[in-house]
Amino acid sequence: MIEVRELSKHYGERLAINALNFSVKKGEVVGFLGPNGAGKSTTMKIITGYMAPSSGSVTVAGFDVFEDPIEVKRRIGYLPETPPVYHDMYVGDYLRFVANLKGCDRTRLTGLVNSALEKTGLQDVRGRLIGNLSKGFKQRVGLAQALVSDPEILILDEPTVGLDPKQVAEMRQLIRTLKGQHTIVLSTHILPEVQASCDKVIIINSGKIVAENSLEGLSKQMSSGGGHSISVRVRRNQEVIVRGLSSVPGVRATTNMGNFIEVQTDGDETTVERVAGYVVQQGAGLLELRVQALALEDIFIKLTSTETAH
Amino acid sequence: MRAIFTIAWKDLKALLTNPLFYVIGGMCTVLWSYTYMRSLLEFAERSRMFAQPGMDSGPNIQNTVIMAHISLTNLLFIFVLPALTMRLLAEEKRMRTYDLLLTSPITATQIAVGKFFAGWGAAVALAGISLLYPLATRLVVSYPMGPLFSAYLGMILVAGAYVAVGLFASALTESIMLSVVLGLIFNILLWFISQGAGEGHFYTPVVEYLSLGQHFVGFIMGAVKLNSTVFLLSLITLFVFLTQRVVESSRWR
């Protein structure tokens, strides 16, 4: 659906993004992840035809963004970082204006506006001035604006930024319900967001892609060879267990961390089983045993910090 | 066509429902009412003097009262229209709604033309208010309507030029303040360019021809000249085109 080839953008001397390559398939939900200033917004702006790259190409649904910008824009709904809403317009009027601007079929206009209002839960505020709405509602109006033309592709630039925790949860729920109807690219620097809603993650740092994979694939890729660590909490005999565990096959090292024991293993599931068996067999009173898979957070920090270390 | 209409209609509504329009309209009305009434009373006084037997035909209401009214309106427009047009693009950039326009399936030309028509519409509305004065005078005095309409045709065209200039100023900057000041300076420049024409130089006729004032005077006198109409329309086209270039440039800058 979206093909990005060797995409670069300079702002004067500064290189914002450097030779990006990736593709997004129809119906996928792709999370664009990176620290602030990594080039996420720049990439999204180029895909939407808002600005031109310094070099490289982008095709959306088979149309080149720079040869046929109109055709591309017709297929994209875009929510920028700041929702592009007019403070002196009513919610319903605004959505109708956007639908007109996107060239939607005149006869379907009212239906489209209503369904966008419904999807974003804005029916109750359709007659209110946008300027008087709270930030969370403005954000939702921004999303409704992206949805109103029922586009094939949705590009959401940090859709949950500045929302309160309840609104964040609602926004994620909303994105989940949109899954399957649209191809979605969303950018964020909040990791649970990606875990909550994306099929695929593209991690970008200092203008370069440092990882591109599915969530599971990514954790597998990062943990291969690294093994797992298990944290064990027991009621009694902690010292004895620490010493005893080091002789269990598959365990590489054990450390007494005070209120729990950290066990480094080879990552095999049978090792986990043997560790659990040993603790129970010793009658130490097992309180907790947790396998710490490499979380997205760790992957993210690992990838982005090694990259900046160069 | 539909995109132009969509943008023009939305912006015209925004302009006409904004408090700014009412402040401007209100202040202009105060000024017009004061000056129009005064010149009308003065005209009545002088007409009475000329009505004595043995005098020539008296002063002409067209040349005194109405012409003064139209000149004042034009002067006001130079200052007031940039304040109306300032928001057209600068505000979009400031509020980040520009992103919506630039990522919608519309061309830079449609944006520029739509915005121009919105601004022109608001200017025509303001001109309409000023037209009420001469029309009301017709209730008590009869005078030929022809020159009045040619003058208003000229005024609408000149206002179109101010709007196009203001729109261009608005496209250049994100700051509303700067957009007003730029628009004002451009307008004054267009009006007074003939001051620098001098006399007898090879460039004198060219510079004089470029001045808005020279063309407007023709319309006020009741002459709808083809060259003046073409000049004003070209001026509008030029500045709308320049605006289109600025909007378009945000795609590759």
- ipTM confidence score: 0.87
* pLDDT tens readout for residues A7-65: 888 888 888 888 889 989 888 889 888 887 788 888 999 999 888 888 899 999 889 98
Q: Is the pLDDT of residue B183 over 90?
A: yes
B105 neighbourhood in chain A, CB within 8 Å: 69-71, 73-74, 101-103
Q: Is the pLDDT of residue A307 over 60?
A: no
Q: How confident is the model at residue A227 (pLDDT cuts 50, 70, 90)?
A: low
Interface of A with B (CB under 8 A): 48-52, 69-71, 73-74, 76, 78, 80-89, 97-98, 100-103, 145
Two tokens at B148?
């009045």
Q: B97 and A74: CB-CB below 8 Å?
A: no
Q: B3 and A103: CB-CB below 8 Å?
A: yes
Residues of chain A with CATH 3.40.50.300: 1-70+152-160+168-221
Q: Is the pLDDT of residue A146 over 70?
A: yes
Q: A51 and B252: CB-CB below 8 Å?
A: yes
- Which pLDDT does position B61 carry in this prediction? 81
Q: A145 and B100: CB-CB below 8 Å?
A: yes
Pick the residue with more confidence: B207 or B155?
B155
B105 touching A (Cβ < 8 Å)? yes
B10 neighbourhood in chain A, CB within 8 Å: 89, 97
Of A69, A84, A100, the CB nearest to B100: A84
Mean pLDDT along residues A169-190: 84
* pLDDT tens readout for residues A82-105: 899 999 999 999 999 999 999 888
Mean pLDDT along residues A117-130: 90
Nearest CA distance, B127 vs chain A (angstrom): 25
With H, G, I as helix, E, B as strand and everything else as coil, classify residue B57. coil
Q: How confident is the model at residue B20 (pLDDT cuts 50, 70, 90)?
A: very high
B104 neighbourhood in chain A, CB within 8 Å: 73, 98, 101-102
- Which pLDDT does position A297 carry in this prediction? 66
Q: What residue type is B73 in one-letter code?
A: T
- Which pLDDT does position A246 carry in this prediction? 83
For the domain made up of A229-292, give the CATH fold.
Alpha-Beta Plaits (3.30.70)
Mean pLDDT along residues B179-199: 85
Q: B2 and A102: CB-CB below 8 Å?
A: no
Reference B167, options B238, B240, B98; nearest CA is B240
* pLDDT tens readout for residues B29-50: 999 999 999 998 988 888 888 7
Nearest CA distance, A1 vs chain B (angstrom): 18
Q: Can you spell out the DSSP letters for chain A?
A: -EEEEEEEEEETTEEEEEEEEEEE-TT-EEEEE--TTSSHHHHHHHHTTSS--SEEEEEETTEETTT-HHHHHHTEEEE-SS----TTSBHHHHHHHHHHHTT--GGGHHHHHHHHHHHTT-GGGTTSBGGGS-HHHHHHHHHHHHHTT--SEEEEESTTTT--HHHHHHHHHHHHHHBTTBEEEEEES-HHHHHHH-SEEEEEETTEEEEEEEHHHHHHHHHTTT--EEEEEESS-HHHHHHHHTTSTTEEEEEE-SSSEEEEE-S-HHHHHHHHHHHHHTT--EEEEEEE---HHHHHHHHHHHHHH-
- Which pLDDT does position A273 carry in this prediction? 85
Q: How confident is the model at residue A309 (pLDDT cuts 50, 70, 90)?
A: very low
- Which pLDDT does position A294 carry in this prediction? 60
Pick the residue with more confidence: A226 or B165?
B165
- Which pLDDT does position B102 carry in this prediction? 92
Q: How confident is the model at residue A241 (pLDDT cuts 50, 70, 90)?
A: confident
- Which pLDDT does position B221 carry in this prediction? 83
Of B14, B104, B251, the CB nearest to A101: B104
Q: Is the pLDDT of residue B88 over 50?
A: yes
Q: A86 and B96: CB-CB below 8 Å?
A: no
- Which pLDDT does position B194 carry in this prediction? 75
Q: Which of B10, B13, B100, B102 would best serve as a mutation to test chain A binding (most A beta carbons within 10 A)?
A: B100
* Per-chain mean pLDDT for chain B: 89
Mean pLDDT along residues A95-117: 92
Q: Is the pLDDT of residue A162 over 90?
A: no
Of A52, A82, A97, the CB nearest to B251: A52
Q: How confident is the model at residue B27 (pLDDT cuts 50, 70, 90)?
A: very high
Q: Is the pLDDT of residue A224 over 60?
A: no
What is d(CA A185, CA A175) in angstroms, rounded to the nearest whole number? 11
Nearest CA distance, B162 vs chain A (angstrom): 25
Q: How confident is the model at residue A310 (pLDDT cuts 50, 70, 90)?
A: very low
Is-contact A125 A137, C-beta < 8 A? yes
Mean pLDDT along residues A142-167: 87
Q: A88 and B250: CB-CB below 8 Å?
A: no
A97 neighbourhood in chain B, CB within 8 Å: 6, 10
What is d(CA A305, CA A298) in angstroms, rounded to the nearest whole number? 10
The secondary element (H helix, E strand) that includes residue B44 is: helix B19-50
List own/partner pairs for A268-273 with CB under 8 A and 24 or more apart.
Answer: A272/A228, A272/A230
B95 touching A (Cβ < 8 Å)? yes
What is d(CA B227, CA B234) in angstroms, rounded to the nearest whole number? 10
Q: Is the pLDDT of residue B85 over 50?
A: yes
A50 neighbourhood in chain B, CB within 8 Å: 99, 102-103, 251
* pLDDT tens readout for residues A264-298: 877 677 888 888 888 888 888 888 888 776 666 66
Q: Which of A93, A100, A101, A156 would best serve as a mutation to test chain B binding (most B beta carbons within 10 A)?
A: A101
How far from A72 is each of A67, A152, B105, CA to CA, in Å?
A: 9, 10, 8
Nearest CA distance, A272 vs chain B (angstrom): 53
B104 touching A (Cβ < 8 Å)? yes
* Per-chain mean pLDDT for chain A: 84
Reference B98, options A6, A37, A188, A85; nearest CA is A85
Of B97, B106, B252, the CB nearest to A52: B252
Q: A70 and B2: CB-CB below 8 Å?
A: no
Two tokens at B165?
């200039």
Nearest CA distance, B91 vs chain A (angstrom): 10
A with B: how many residue pairs have Cβ under 8 Å apart? 74
Residues of chain A with CATH 3.30.70: 229-292
What is d(CA A50, CA B237) in angstroms, rounded to the nearest whole number? 26
CATH number for the domain whose boundaries are A1-70+152-160+168-221 = 3.40.50.300
Q: A97 and B10: CB-CB below 8 Å?
A: yes
How far, rounded to the nearest angstrom, does the alpha carbon of residue B54 sit from its chain's CA centroid?
43
- Which pLDDT does position B28 carry in this prediction? 94
- Which pLDDT does position A67 carry in this prediction? 86
Q: Can you spell out the DSSP letters for B121-179?
A: HHHHHHHHHHHHHHHHHTTTS---SHHHHHHHHHHHHHHHHHHHHHHHHHHH-S-HHHH
